[in-house]
Amino acid sequence: MPGIKATDVKKLRDVSGAGMMDCKKALAETGGDLDAAVDYLRKKGLSAASKKAGRVAAEGAVLARSEGDTGIVIEVNAETDFASKNEKFQGFVNNVTDIVSRENPSDLAALTALPFDSNHNVGEALSQLVATVGEKMNIRRFSRIHVPGGVVGSYVHGAGKIGVLVGIQADDTDTMRELAKHIAMHVAAANPQFIGRNEVPADKIERERAVLSERAAASGKPENIIEKIVDGQLNKFYQEICLNDQAFVMDTDRSVAKVIAEAQNDARIVAMERFQLGEGIEKAEDDFAAEVAAQVNG
């Protein structure tokens, strides 16, 4: 394509992240106008993103980050694990996490409308990333924990497979910051559903009690003994689903609540978030025969 300088192509690639041939075509179509070429590529990126809308994006990365009394956890999805290791993808996730931390958007719609850089908002930057990498991607969810006067610990497991935040109402000390991180590690491993017993819905407790009571009654033991058996088994039930009741993974002789109380008087866990990459997303099953047939017939 005559008249298009290599330096202009490089400049457009640096700005847009698009491929060399796409940049050359964009400059040719816009008479070498860099700004117009950027818009041309943005429009192309939006089109490419829309074509990928029907695909399943269950890979990607979860990032958790905390400082002082505030923490952020976010999940950004891609179609393949390979794409999630792309430097541009990783950079996008880090930048969006910074934006959430700084701007505290109310929801995903508010987040995508926020400025990403001097030329694009978050939604536009995501569309350009989709066009560059060639996969469907989306910001699935985020959460921000703020504990005024307390501490928030964070932990990321498995290179972005699980991200956890734990907020503790306690004095901000080195000991409590370290403990908050350790409890976040515990949450990653033990996956509690609730912080304390008071959070467990009453109907869930009643269903469990009914099952345990029927099972105990079959033993033929006296009613007063059955009640004690059921109460004991309910305690085990709480130990499975409630963070405070669980045996701390780093010291299984003590519960998490006891570890917290012994570290600082009146300290208590007040918030918890655990994101596991792709949880709840149904991955499409590949029909290998259909795929081969499509390649042969294509």
pLDDT score of 292 more than 70: no
pLDDT band, very low/low/confident/very high, at 295 (cuts 50, 70, 90): very low
Check pLDDT > 60 for residue 39: yes
Q: Which of 292, 293, 295, 286 is nearest to 56 (CA)?
A: 286
Tell me the average pLDDT across 109-131. Answer: 93
- State the Cα–Cα distance between residues 215 and 227, nearest whole angstrom: 12
- The tokens for 202 are 């009453």
**pLDDT winner (highest mean) among 44-58, 72-86, 284-298:** 72-86
What is the distance between the alpha carbons of residues 118 and 184, in angstroms, rounded to a whole number? 36
Confidence category of residue 131, pLDDT binned at 50, 70, 90? confident
User: What tens digit of pLDDT does each residue of 230-282 get?
Assistant: 889 999 999 999 999 999 999 999 999 999 999 999 999 999 999 999 888 76
C-alpha to C-alpha distance for 177 and 117, rounded to whole angstroms: 33
Q: What residues contact 34, with CB distance under 8 A and at least 6 apart?
A: 8, 11, 12, 15, 27
Can you name the residues that pair with 164 across neighbouring β-strands?
155, 274
**Nearest residue to 126 (alpha-carbon basis) of 107, 140, 147, 112:** 112
Q: Please give the backbone phi and psi of residue 88, each rounded to the nearest 5 degrees, phi first.
A: -65, -40
pLDDT band at 49 (very low <50, low <70, confident <90, very high): very low
pLDDT of 168 above 90: yes
Residue ranges and CATH numbers for the domains of the chain are 6-51 (1.10.8.10), 59-195+268-276 (3.30.479.20)
Question: What is the pLDDT, as a whole number, of residue 260?
Answer: 96
Q: What is the spatial distance between Cα 156 and Cα 1, in angstroms, rounded to a whole number? A: 48
